[in-house]
Amino acid sequence: MLVTRDVRVGAPPPEPPGNSIPAAPELVFDDFYHAHFRGLVVQLTAYTGDLGQAQDLVQEAFCRAYARWDRIAGYEDPLAWVRKVAWNLGHNRWRRLRTAQSWLLRQREAHVAGPSPDRVALDVALATLPPKQRRAVVLHYLADLSVAEIAAEEQVAEGTVKSWLHRGRTALATQLRDTTEEVRDV
């Protein structure tokens, strides 16, 4: 069922010995959620530059998956569905505007630590990439998808993905090199 290359992070502890009760659909969803929630948040953070937004988008995508879990659990790659939904939620203009308004209403004050300098450097570099290149780079480096898998997900030719990756990598390397040199110059 699961065709996933995402790093399984935050998974729940293993079942205690002797617990041989067959997994109910809800438990399967829980496993799926724990296996992929954090990895997807990392990808969406890299794509949007915003960890809080990424968490919202991924949680919302899992809500939508749960609402139709009977069907999605039977998909060849349910993770691709959730990832696509989360990315589309972040991408669609009308959703973004609507969600932005609701965020503003819900936003609460919090005093938190800022992101690390390294993370900021990569966030800034990623933000300079066109969306398609950024998506390809994130899917390749953080979702661990192959060129063929990215091409299938984006419904483009593999050559197009290779071009996106090449341009994205070059631009990122230049950006990160410049940033490093700026830091060194200070």
86-145 binders of another protein (CB under 8 A) = 88-89, 91-96, 98, 100, 102-104, 106-116, 118-120, 122-124, 127, 141-142
150 binds another protein (CB under 8 A): no
CB of residue 158 to another protein, shortest distance in Å: 18
Using an 8 Å Cβ cutoff, are 119 and 157 in contact?
no
Residue 144 and residue 154: Cα distance in Å, rounded?
15
152 binds another protein (CB under 8 A): no
DSSP-derived secondary structure letter, 167: H
DSSP-derived secondary structure letter, 3: -
158, two tokens: 């593999």
62 binds another protein (CB under 8 A): yes
66 binds another protein (CB under 8 A): yes
Q: How many CB atoms lie within 10 A of CB 24?
A: 9
CB of residue 118 to another protein, shortest distance in Å: 6
61 binds another protein (CB under 8 A): yes
